[in-house]
Structure 1
């Protein structure tokens, strides 16, 4: 029997109070009052921030680690708990209000933060804060990184499959108070420059009765984990520096390992989201490559693997806004136009790197500025340490125009490229030409990091003779599309009942 489709009823985003929004230049001055602030560290973080694509005045930092609000940074458990209660309290209260649910209506609770993992768990904290019932199934996921906002959807889907008709509250955030690094090691300072407060809470269910009240239906969801490789596993680590101060170490191998796992995730979902026309194009590409091999006796080096136009696969793109270079790398790999990238860059500008919540800020931007039409599709891509990637594909069940409080400052007006701190449509390498902030060596490292995201391609394997190739390609096309069609039909049938 086919699994019941998963519906996203609604979701909410954390909207930080104005007093926590930082002014970069005021913060830059106030930081000198901290004992841990040294000239080299101060300059490095400033350069990283100015090249990050993040607004100098809109993003939020907890009071415990904000130079204008505290005499010295405080990364203790009590300070982290204060941030967690603020974020979780707001987003959960808001999503319950939007859906008309009571805390006792929640059957499954899944929470996530990477660094701050207290005992009792954050899931237990939520149960205590909201007075949830004793029978709620509660799970907290720690150390899952930036990918969990998408990867976690696989867990939600599987939990609902095991418990059909139940209601799941899925909450994802990163508590950055405990992740703040007061030391001097450069590899650990990147997080101070990029990460900001954020969080999201969503209500999901596979109860058919909720379909008419829901915004979206989950069509496909995949995940990839390359942690069996030491290189991938060690690309991003929470560890002590030479002085014993804990920090998130971002190694030089991170860009290439992130590119690898991202490519695998996109490659895995692509056959399920391609159009009939793109299947035909892929088959023709396969046959041409096979014919070239047959005539030349070897694989023709000029025959490029087929890569679909992803703007024909999805109407909207939610990409992990981890930083300017990350988004430009994904843009290059998926060959997306600037317009398709604008929501993710807007999210980066106004909220910074919000870790596992970043793709949801992008989603809320789209709903707040132009909306989503019934039947339109959304491709959601997350990537994070481990290494792991998650890709989800959604379809709108109705017209959605919902101005989220966190985007109210835009007054419904979309962000344009001229509004961004850095351009996104000019030559790929020239955007890193910042002689005033980087040495030649640093400049080259950033360019190489950005270019490390490879093009995501569909390969067809070793070509066979033309006739056999045609038959094989046609059979594979029909098989893949038939499987997708059966899945959609089964989901629709279940929803109808």
Structure 2
């Protein structure tokens, strides 16, 4: 009797059912392993920037008064700082630490602690409220402060203030300068990616201008008095996929480069004492050159990960000597938060990256309105974009910052929703005056 041809597939299945079951089981295990081994996606749930009170605005007039009242500077140094301030790009609405506006103008440890607490407590309270997170669900705390290190640590200060869990993991980044804010995000993201049980990380980027004021006559150390201002930002990043719909952005790439093996890079920005024993931060003449060289190397490493194939092909053709134009290094992003280290730094980055004035507008306007707030600066720039309503869903935002050592740190975000002005946005009361026509 001839077998029915239509029954042959069923017969084969029955004869090899054990092998097929094993194959299906292995496939299921492979798929499950693939998804479980992939690092979780990291989202920027929200952030907040500290806005000091109006009475702490550090106008040019207040700077002049404070400098002369201290009686610690020669007329030559006063004139030098006046010239630096005039061409710094800073406006009259930046902010200084509380002690500057008091009768006792001597900064003490308590002055630094007060400045840190005012900024950090305000920013953290705001961001926890915006994200609707109870402090007890915070798994990781990363605090970045370029120059201020307090005992107990700043992260311990936050654990105490907000009643965080006993098993919360805390980290402090100090001595890393302006790049430590972006570095803190990178560290938090790596911790979240390494353990799926850890879901929420609180990041605080703050600087302490109270204890970094220089009271001598060394010109390379006087510059910091003219450009650094008070500021703080807090952010919550999460790997909890259930909060994706609430998140602002997804972290696409984090890259950090350290060029400290080079002598010029290592000493370009350095804390030291002058000949009279006054402590301060020396910004050497080589700083802009070091930053430009470091940026080029950093971008060369980052480019293959963010640029479209067309621009990569143009770059390769250029190296082979057959290129018709230079690759567009900004083709991988719609927006950029450029390091607001100073007017010269912004201009150097713009020239090196081929940025238009519109691309550097957020950096220039942030420098004018808030000054160099060190490690929190990129968040004030992000707030500018949101105040202007420029970020659209799907846009990529590049944050780039430099730090002592010498370091370059990049964060690339993809917007999950179009931006809007938040009630706590630090630009809310003044955005109608920006951008400035002259800078």
Tell whether the structures are fold-level matches, with TM greater than 0.5: yes
Indicate the larger mover: 109-118 or 275-284.
275-284
What is the match of residue 6 of structure 2? Answer: none
1:194 maps to which residue? 227
- Choose from 149, 152, 157 the match for 2:184: 152
For residue 215 of structure 1, the aligned residue among 248, 251, 261 is 248
Q: How does 1:426-441 map to 2 (within 5 A)?
A: none
Q: Quickly say closer, same or farther: Cα 1:258–1:283, change in 2 above 3 A.
A: closer
| Cα separation, partners in 2 of 1:225 and 1:62, compared to 1, 3 Å | same
Structure 2 equivalent of residue 58 of structure 1: 93
* Counterpart position of 2:426: 406
Task: Give 1:310 shift.
Answer: 3.4
Aligned to 1:39: 75
Aligned twin of 2:85:
49
Which structure 2 segments of 5+ residues have no match?
Answer: 1-36
Does residue 98 of structure 1 match 2:130?
yes
C-alpha separation between the residues in 2 aligned to 1:200 and 1:127?
Answer: 17
**CA–CA separation in structure 1 for the residues paired with 2:98 and 2:156:** 24
Change (3 A) 1:267 1:60: same
- Helix, strand or coil at the partner of 1:332: helix
Compare CA radii of gyration and give the structure with the larger one: 2
User: Are residues 1:332 and 2:368 paired?
Assistant: no
Q: How many residues align?
A: 401
Other structure's SS at 1:178 match = coil
* Correspondence for 1:357 among 359, 376, 389: 376
Structure-2 change in CA distance of 1:2 and 1:31 (3 Å) = same
1:22-37 alignment, distance < 5 Å: 22-37=58-73
Residue 488 of structure 1 corresponds to none
1:195 and 1:285 map into 2 onto residues whose CA distance is 40
Q: Deviations over 1:221-242 (max 9, x none)?
A: 1110011222211221111111
- Find the residue that maps to 2:43 and give its secondary structure: strand
- Residues 329 and 29 (structure 1), Cα distance of their counterparts in 2 relative to 1, 3 Å cut: same
Distance 1:286 1:112, change over 3 A: closer
Partner of 2:416: 397
1:116 and 1:74 map into 2 onto residues whose CA distance is 17
Higher mean C-alpha deviation, range 274-283 or range 184-193: 274-283
Displacement of 1:133 in angstroms is 1.2
Conserved 8 A contact 2:288-2:344: no
Distance in structure 1 (CA, Å) of the matches to 2:238 and 2:385? 23
CA contact (8 A) 1:370 1:414 kept: no
Q: Are the equivalent residues in 1 in contact too, given 2:142–2:204 (CA < 8 A)?
A: yes
Distance 1:84 1:252, change over 3 A: same
Q: How far off is 1:345 after superposition?
A: 0.6
- The Cα shift of 1:285 comes to 3.8
Q: Secondary structure at the match of 2:89?
A: coil
| 1:269-308 equivalent positions in 2, closer than 5 A | 269-285=302-318, 289=322, 307-308=326-327
Give the Cα–Cα distance (whole angstroms) in 2 for the partners of residues 353 and 104 of structure 1.
33
Structure 2 partner of 1:300: none
Q: Within 2, Cα distance between the matches of 1:286 and 1:251?
A: 33
Q: TM-score, normalised to structure 2's length?
A: 0.87
Corresponding residue for residue 211 of structure 2: 178
2:24 equivalent in structure 1: none
Q: Deviations over 1:177-214 (max 9, x none)?
A: 01111222111111100000011100001121121111
| 1:318–1:344 Cα contact (<8 Å) kept | yes
1:130 and 2:162 correspond: yes
Whole-angstrom CA distance in 1 between matches of 2:167 and 2:120 = 21
Which residue of 318, 321, 332 corresponds with 2:337? 318
In structure 2, what is the Cα distance between the partners aligned to 1:29 and 1:139?
39
Partner in structure 2 of residue 295 of structure 1 = none
How far apart, CA to CA, are the structure 2 residues paired with 1:59 and 1:239? Answer: 26
- For 2:122 and 2:202, the matched residues in 1 are separated by 14
2:48 to 12, 15, 37: 12
Per-residue deviation, residues 442-461 of structure 1 (Å, max 9, x unmatched): xxxxxxxxxxxxxxxxxxxx
Asked whether the 8 Å contact 1:34–1:72 carries over to 2, the reply is no
Matched with 1:162 is: 194
What's the secondary structure of 1:36's corresponding residue?
A: coil
- Aligned partner of 2:106 in structure 1 is 74
Deviation (angstroms), 1:414: 7.1
Is residue 365–residue 436 contact of structure 2 (8 Å, CA) maintained in 1? no
Cα distance in 2, alignment partners of residues 378 and 3 from structure 1: 21
Provide the residue aligned with 2:27 in structure 1.
none
**Counterparts of 1:288 and 1:258, CA distance in 2:** 27
Offset at residue 167 of structure 1 (A): 0.3
Q: In structure 2, what is the Cα distance between the partners aligned to 1:313 and 1:33?
A: 50
State the Cα deviation string for residues 284-341 of structure 1 (Å, max 9, x = none): 445553xxxxxxxxxxxxx68x642234221111011010010000000001111111
RMSD of aligned Cα (Å) = 1.7
1:113 alignment counterpart: 145
**1:118 is paired with a residue of what secondary structure?**
coil
- The ranges of structure 1 where at least 4 consecutive aligned residues each deviate by more than 4 angstroms after the TM superposition are none
Q: Equivalents in 1 of 2:149, 2:247: separation in Å?
A: 32
Other structure's SS at 1:204 match: strand
